Structure 1
Amino acid sequence: MIRNVVFDFGAVLFDWNPNKIVTEFTSSDYEQEQLLTNVLGHADWLSLDRGTMLMAEVIPKFSARVGFPESRMEDFFEHVQNQLTLIDVSANLVEHLLALNYPLYYLTNMSNAFFETLNDKHAFIREFKGGIVSANELLIKPEPEIFELLCQRYQLSPSECLFIDDNKQNVECARELGFEAIQFLPSEACIRQIMDKL
């Protein structure tokens, strides 16, 4: 029986579309490719999510790699955060689950700075019972340890949790650990699939 619902953030609750992010920042095809490959798709971005590098460290590295002044890279990071807009069907789902008194948790790969920005902008996050931000724990999905930490910290049983994530590897890892898990798409069909699990 599902008693708790665990949400990923990027591409589940908040829009995460790297192609859209870069095309809305610059019209230069060259710059778009640089930002996709050498910033958003670079291993240093994962280090930011893991918490092994801080924003102040990665911005100069990204600037040098892409050939942007640091001030422009700072503008890009601000732009990225502004692009993390709430997905309507997900917002409605959260509201519905809260009305049904389901305890909600989050498990997200994200830098602490990005999480704090979202937390400040969106009051509903404070309705969650708690959660794990990867950068605070030096762990990252799909490592089993981050799922285990969530369960340990909040005394959750995986078999009583529905985990919702857009990433196939994360969903498969959760299932292997005993979670009920759904790979998310922002569609009414997926919302119905989630509700059918509860």
Structure 2
Amino acid sequence: MKHMEIRHIVFDIGKVLVHYDPDIPFSRIIPDPAERHWFFGNVCTSAWNIEQDRGRTWEEAEALLIAEHPDHADNIRAFRRHWHEMVPHAYDDSVALLERLIDAGHDVTMLTNWAADTFAEARSRFAFLEKPRGITVSGEIGLIKPDRAIYDHHVASFGTEPSATLFIDDSEKNVEGAQRAGWQAVLFTDARALERDLIARGISF
């Protein structure tokens, strides 16, 4: 299949460049697997967490859940308190690929669903986040993937051409969102597969 020439490359961050796993601290906080599964399925859910990525403050988020689940107040507060443990390391092979693309002269930016305050912490921990031309952070602008508006915001912010943009994300919904916005996109599984995808699209590095 022939693809339009790629002039812009946009990386997601979580689970593409940086590991994320709430089970790391919570396997200690809630040792019983069934109880932990219930907690993430009914209290600190993905739907609850994504609203912090949209810009809701942690204080508001915690207050909302504690009002509904007062018996779980300590564990609710533990989510933000132990957030740093959930992102223990970057993926060295993915970061090396990112840096090779930048060093080869490609226009690289990032687009991430991430709460503003925790992303500021991530930037202080992972130096490679300063290397791309820029980053769109959902929590800073009040928009999240896969909503069309965040892709259009990124285009307007960085002057990219959608059809000449390749987006890399680990979420099928976010990949499909980018495609609906007129971008090219690939689903990330690992760095080796991504390298093959890039080469298949004529990207040299």
Residue pair 2:24, 2:85 contacting (<8 A) in 1 also: no
Residue pair 1:25, 1:79 contacting (<8 A) in 2 also: no
Residue 63 of structure 2: which of 60, 64, 79 is its match? 60
**What whole-Å deviation, never above 9, does each CA across 1:58-99 have from its counterpart, x for those lacking one?**
1233445273344x5444324333322211221111121122
**Which runs of structure 2 are paired with 1:61-100 in the superposition (5 Å)?**
61-64=64-67, 65=69, 67-70=71-74, 73-84=76-87, 85-100=89-104
Aligned equivalents of 1:173 and 1:69: distance in 2?
Answer: 35
* CA displacement at 1:156 relative to structure 2: 0.6
Aligned equivalents of 2:39 and 2:199: distance in 1?
Answer: 38
Going from structure 1 to structure 2, the CA distance change for 1:66 and 1:133 (only over 3 Å counts) comes to farther
**What whole-Å deviation, never above 9, does each CA across 1:7-50 have from its counterpart, x for those lacking one?**
11111111123445532543123541243124442533121111
Aligned equivalents of 1:97 and 1:106: distance in 2?
Answer: 13
Identity of aligned residues (%): 28
Aligned residues: 196
**What whole-Å deviation, never above 9, does each CA across 1:162-185 have from its counterpart, x for those lacking one?**
100011111112112221100001
2:139 is the alignment partner of 1:135 = yes
Q: After the TM superposition, which segments of 4 or more aligned residues of structure 1 sit over 6 Å from their partners? A: none
Q: What is aligned with 1:23?
A: 27
Going from structure 1 to structure 2, the CA distance change for 1:184 and 1:39 (only over 3 Å counts) comes to farther
Q: What is aligned with 1:162?
A: 166
Aligned equivalents of 2:168 and 2:70: distance in 1?
Answer: 34
Aligned equivalents of 1:23 and 1:66: distance in 2?
Answer: 21
Residue pair 1:182, 1:194 contacting (<8 A) in 2 also: no
Partner SS state of residue 135, structure 2:
strand
List gaps (5 residues or longer) in structure 1.
none
Give, as a single letter, the amino acid of the residue that structure 2 aligns with 1:185: T
Partner SS state of residue 109, structure 2:
strand
2:123 is the alignment partner of 1:103 = no
Q: What is aligned with 2:186?
A: 182
Q: What is aligned with 1:116?
A: 120
List gaps (5 residues or longer) in structure 2.
none
Aligned equivalents of 1:40 and 1:100: distance in 2?
Answer: 42
Alpha-carbon RMSD across the aligned residues, in angstroms, is: 2.2
Aligned equivalents of 2:28 and 2:188: distance in 1?
Answer: 25
TM-score with structure 2 setting the length: 0.84
* CA displacement at 1:100 relative to structure 2: 0.8
* CA displacement at 1:189 relative to structure 2: 2.4
Give, as a single letter, the amino acid of the residue that structure 1 aligns with 2:106: Y
